[in-house]
Amino acid sequence: MPMTRFRWVPLWVLLGLVSRPDALCGQDAPESPAPPQTRARIIIDNDFGGDPDGLFQLAHHLLSHSVEVRGIVGSHHYPDGLYGNPGTPENACAAATELLTAMRLAGKIPVFQGAAVRMEKDFAPVPSAAADFIVREAMREGAATPLLIACGGGLTDLASACRMEPKIAKSIRLVWIGGPEHQGIAFPPPGAQAVEYNLGIDPRAAQFVFNRSGIPIWQVPRDAYRQALVSCAELDNRMGNGGNLARFLNRKLRDFTARAFKPEPETHVLGDSPLVLLTALRTPWEPDTSSSRHITVPTPNITDEGTYETNPQGRPMRVYTQLDTRLMFEDFYAKVVRFDQRANSNKR
């Protein structure tokens, strides 16, 4: 028996209008705007074997559908490690792979090992699987979305990739957690390291990227990434009774914190999370990081002392000054809870 089929009828037809509502204005409607470009390809480059804040960022990125994670770079940090966490790229790759396994993504997203050592004074590239991959992805023809390099560590592998193939500078954008405060915008914190931590991992690579490469940069300097502050009570409250992923991340942070601080602090800086805020959590219309604040300055040069030197001819660079940490952390908690709930329901 044939069934009555309902058709969707626009409200303006029901009201007896014979043409589209915009025709009532007596002029042609403007062209529809182009669909917003909210998606991007992304390479995540971080020293996952050091401060575990990079693992929080990686998990958050992997749970964010507006970015397509093309690959993960496990990079070196300091040769002496950090509170018992070795500084080798092998350790970084192992930490990233452990997280992928906890999220049942092992083998689905490639992990590339970065260089083991810094760039030398002559800026010669330091070969690595990671640098080769960055070149390959940046030079890939036919990709429909922009390529972002989200880096929460040193810049060895990106700088090496750009030394190997300078053309990549035109097809990528770097979002970087690192660099000291800019004069006139913020002051260093009390007892600040003379050279900011991520810049100090590879000062020559940072000099190459800033001073010589032409790569467009969105920078989250130290005063901005230190805004990514969460309290231990908040983490316990929002993730303490969570599922596997929440427990995995909390355990990593607690293990590290127990070695780094005595007594246990009240807060943690999840300073790599702005990489997610600024790449994945943008407005759907006219995509941008509208709830955070930045200024645009000519990219300065970085000196041998790890400070900035004004360069009026420098290409425009965003410097983030204020971050929407509510959006960043609420989105993170919500996605981790949802992931763990789905994983649990799939087990039943």
Write the CB contacts of 189 (distance below 8 Å, at least 6 apart in sequence). Answer: 222, 223, 226
CB of 42 to Ca ion, least distance (A): 16
CB of 276 to Ca ion, least distance (A): 13
Q: Are 76 and 116 spatial neighbours (Cβ–Cβ below 8 Å)?
A: yes
Q: Is residue 152 part of the contact set for Ca ion (CB under 5 A)?
A: yes
CB of 199 to Ca ion, least distance (A): 12
- For the CA atoms of 287, 292, 293, 298, the dihedral, rounded to the nearest 10 degrees, stands at -60
Residue showing the smallest CB distance to Ca ion in the complex: 152
Q: Which stretch binds Ca ion (CB under 5 A): 86-94, 106-114, 187-195, 269-277?
A: 269-277
Long-range CB pairs of 57-60, under 8 A, 24+ apart, other chains included: 57/150, 57/152, 57/270, 57/272, 57/273, 57/275, 57/276, 58/96, 58/99, 59/99, 59/103, 59/245, 59/249, 59/336, 60/273, 60/276, 60/280, 60/331, 60/332, 60/335
Side chain identity at residue 324, one-letter code: D
CB of 131 to Ca ion, least distance (A): 18
Query: Measured between alpha carbons, how far is 232 from 267 in angstroms, rounded to an integer?
Result: 5
Which has the closest alpha carbon to 113: 138, 126, 135, 131? 131
Q: Is residue 179 part of the contact set for Ca ion (CB under 5 A)?
A: no
Q: Are 206 and 119 spatial neighbours (Cβ–Cβ below 8 Å)?
A: no
CB of 320 to Ca ion, least distance (A): 16
54 vs 71 by CB, closer to Ca ion: 54
State the angle between helix axes of 232-239 and 325-347 in degrees (0 to 180), rounded to the nearest 10. 30
87 vs 152 by CB, closer to Ca ion: 152
126 vs 270 by CB, closer to Ca ion: 270
Q: Is residue 153 part of the contact set for Ca ion (CB under 5 A)?
A: yes
CB of 46 to Ca ion, least distance (A): 5
Q: Which stretch binds Ca ion (CB under 5 A): 158-166, 266-274, 279-287, 302-310?
A: 266-274
Q: Are 125 and 85 spatial neighbours (Cβ–Cβ below 8 Å)?
A: no
In the numeric block, which tokens belong to residue 306? 């790890």
Side chain identity at residue 329, one-letter code: F
Q: Which stretch binds Ca ion (CB under 5 A): 30-38, 143-151, 222-230, 272-280?
A: 272-280
54 vs 300 by CB, closer to Ca ion: 54
Site string for Ca ion, 82-121 (x = CB under 5 A): ----------------------------------------
CB of 49 to Ca ion, least distance (A): 9
72 vs 169 by CB, closer to Ca ion: 72
73 vs 168 by CB, closer to Ca ion: 73
CB of 201 to Ca ion, least distance (A): 9
Neighbouring C-alpha atoms within 13 Å toward the C-beta of 189: 13
- Rg (the chain; Cα; Å): 23
With tokens 């036919």, the residue in question is: 142
Q: Which stretch binds Ca ion (CB under 5 A): 188-196, 264-272, 293-301, 338-346?
A: 264-272
125 vs 153 by CB, closer to Ca ion: 153
> Could you say which residues in the range 22-51 bind Ca ion, by CB under 5 A?
46-47
- b/e for 309-325, b at 16 or more Cβ within 10 A? eebeebeebbbbbebbb
Q: Is residue 74 part of the contact set for Ca ion (CB under 5 A)?
A: no
Q: Is residue 54 part of the contact set for Ca ion (CB under 5 A)?
A: yes
62 vs 297 by CB, closer to Ca ion: 62
The site that binds Ca ion (CB under 5 A) totals a number of residues, namely 6
54 vs 179 by CB, closer to Ca ion: 54
Residues found near Ca ion in the complex (CB under 5 A): 46-47, 54, 152-153, 272
